[in-house]
Amino acid sequence: MFHKTTLKNGLRVITVPMKDVRSVTVLVLVGTGSKYETREINGLSHFLEHVMFKGTKKRPTALQISTELDRVGAEHNAFTGDERTGYWVKADFNHLDLALDIVSDILLNSTFNPKEIERERGVIIEEINMYNDMPSHYTGVLFDRLLYGDQPAGWEILGKKEVISKLKRPELVQYFHNQYVADNIVVTVAGKFDEKNILNKIEHYFSKIRKGEPKSKAPVIEKQSKPENLIFYKKTEQTHFCLGVRAYNVFDPRKYALSVLSSILGGSMSSRLWVTIREKKGLAYYIGSMVDNSSDTGFLAVRAGVNNEKVKDAIVAILREFRLVRDKGVTAEELKKAKDYFKGKMLLAFESSDDWAEFVGEQEIALNKILKPEQILRKINAVSRKDILRVARDIFHPSKLNLALIGPLKDDREFQKLLKI
């Protein structure tokens, strides 16, 4: 069970009591991210996330914040996406007040110390360098760029180094005041806590949160009439690629059939692509499919790393599986296995307080409503073979196909010829 309350200041609060655990998680989600940026401040959402941990009026240094949490063995972190930013602390339930105090202190009283901003600028640039050196990660960045081009949805969440090097404190503070307001924030507490007093505690710690109207993001423009590919030349031992199709946003009811289809294709070690590409052909060490559902965009993509000499073989084999699903559908056995897999993964996730906090918080910030696990499972169980076939015939079309590659490759024309389904 969970309970949703909107406080007088407009802050949405979700509480998830879990009597059989010893932990409690405090998660704050802000409805902002890289899609809310302009070209001049690309990467600022992520930069701000870092700076928030660098000191408050009560705890002037980052060390004081981390030391207080380390003393009780608590876990803490933050993340930035294209549409939301999150801050969380997970601790023993006896330290709920400390978790609430620190998370609220960060959100309400960060000082944005100029010296810390300068130091953190270097940290973020090294983070960008790190991920740029990870082809298995960077293919996803390239895939977004290929799909959406020069608009916020196609820009890197971490930003570009030349932009990060120029961002100033007033820009960080202005963005913070614009976006970090009560109506744009969800506070979730999941785990073991006193249900009678929890709302009073949250209201106490977050009573001074700012009010205001957050700035909205620009709508995503999608244009594609033929298959597209993008090569990033890099001397690597493997070629890494992301091959996929445009699909559905988070509000589209077809997203459930899309998730089941993704599971059948590459969601597990017994999925079609794993068996075909890895077990039978020995072309890849890692391969899998994923679904992305944002507020106004969506896709299904397959990611893999293969021998440089066998890239074409792997791409052709994956496209063949796309065609088989589109032309012949899936079997009743495959459909049942995918549903059971989805159910099992979901139920296992709900053993921890942090997963529950994320489950309800993400739905609230994205949809402004929360479906219970059993409601989602009913929608998954309702997916039929005909639903899968309809979705496959809709998305597996040349005009929606995209391929991003990283490796010692130069001629994109040879890959363009392969993109036929």
How many angstroms separate the CA atoms of 284 and 287, rounded? 7
Residue 26 has pLDDT above 90, yes or no: yes
Which residues neighbour 160 within 8 Å (Cβ) at sequence distance 6 or greater?
Answer: 42, 43, 128
The tens digit of pLDDT for each residue in 382-397 reads: 999 999 999 999 999 9
Catalytic-residue membership of 49: yes
For the residues 352-366, what does the mean pLDDT come to? 97
Structure tokens at 242: 């992301």
Name the pLDDT band for 353 (thresholds 50, 70, 90). very high
Name the pLDDT band for 22 (thresholds 50, 70, 90). very high
How many angstroms separate the CA atoms of 34 and 217, rounded? 9
Which residues neighbour 386 within 8 Å (Cβ) at sequence distance 6 or greater?
Answer: none
For the residues 328-336, what does the mean pLDDT come to? 98
Name the pLDDT band for 340 (thresholds 50, 70, 90). very high
pLDDT for position 18: 96
The tens digit of pLDDT for each residue in 183-215 reads: 999 999 999 999 999 999 999 999 999 999 999
- All CATH 3.30.830.10 domain ranges of the chain, comma separated, are 3-205, 228-416
Residue 411 has pLDDT above 90, yes or no: no
Residue 409 has pLDDT above 90, yes or no: yes
pLDDT for position 1: 86
Distance of CA 295 to the CA centre of its chain: 12
Q: Please tell us whether the domain made up of 3-205 is placed in CATH 3.30.2270.10.
A: no
Concatenate the DSSP letters of all residues of 155-189 into one string: S-TT--HHHHTT--HHHHHHHHHHH-SGGGEEEEE
* Fold of the CATH domain 228-416: Cytochrome Bc1 Complex; Chain A, domain 1 (3.30.830)
407: region left, alpha or beta (phi > 0 left; psi from -120 to 50 alpha): left
Residue 311 has pLDDT above 90, yes or no: yes
pLDDT for position 263: 97
DSSP designation for 375: H
Is the pTM higher than 0.85? The answer reads yes
Annotated active-site residue in 49, 116, 156, 321? 49
The tens digit of pLDDT for each residue in 41-82 reads: 999 999 999 999 999 999 999 999 999 999 999 999 999 999
